[in-house]
Structure 1
Amino acid sequence: MQIRTAAIALTLLVLAGCAAQRPDIAAEEASPYPIPNEVVAIAGPNQDLTTARFDPADDCYWYYHAGPVETTLVPLRAANGNQICNAKPV
């Protein structure tokens, strides 16, 4: 009986570890910097613009990429592959 109970418990733990987990992006602090229409226009394909945000630390735009293993914050890129950042004054 104890072996059966242990086997069931182990199976449940293993299956629970396989469940997909995504961070609650909506619960995070909302970005005070909305994404301008110009940025949306030059953004390349296959990027989730609904999660895009501006990072004032580096003056660039970032978005959450939901991969098969984890959800990662990656730079927002233009169609030509360049990272989308604000121009720094000279």
Structure 2
Amino acid sequence: MRKQFSVTIVMLQLLGACAAPLGVGGKANAPSDEKDLPEAVIQLAAANQNVYSARLQPDGCYWYEYHGPVETTLLPLLTDDGKRICGEAGAGETTPGYAT
């Protein structure tokens, strides 16, 4: 009986390892299509960011998923000079097409 229980536990752990990991917000960690982002946003973003995971948030700015060693978190999408990239609703930040 104990051997059968141990085999069941090991099989459940192996099956759990095959599941897709969940990212921020419970979504699977799959890169979004380039078509989701305006080309101007991709051109404005600094090189060390994952622009293909970026999305427009309720604050009016673009945020991207940063996959750290412990957790995945959302960080603001920044330009080379450190300004946040925002849509038209984000006041005081860099707006694609209207960059200064």
Q: TM-score, normalised by structure 1?
A: 0.60
Cα-Cα RMSD: 3.0
Query: 1:25 Cα shift?
Result: 2.9
> What corresponds to 2:44 in structure 1?
42
Matches within 5 A, 1:1-90: 24-26=28-30, 34-55=36-57, 57-86=58-87, 87-88=90-91
Moved over 3 A (4+): none
Matched residues in 1 for 2:39 and 2:62: separation?
A: 13
Is the contact made by 1:34 and 1:54 (CA closer than 8 Å) also made in structure 2? no
Matched residues in 2 for 1:52 and 1:68: separation?
A: 19
Give the number of the structure with larger relative contact order, counting CA–CA contacts within 8 Å between residues 6 or more apart. Answer: 1
Identity %: 41
SS of the residue corresponding to residue 25 of structure 1 reads: coil
Structure 1 unpaired stretches of 5+: 1-20, 27-32
Is the contact made by 1:60 and 1:84 (CA closer than 8 Å) also made in structure 2? yes
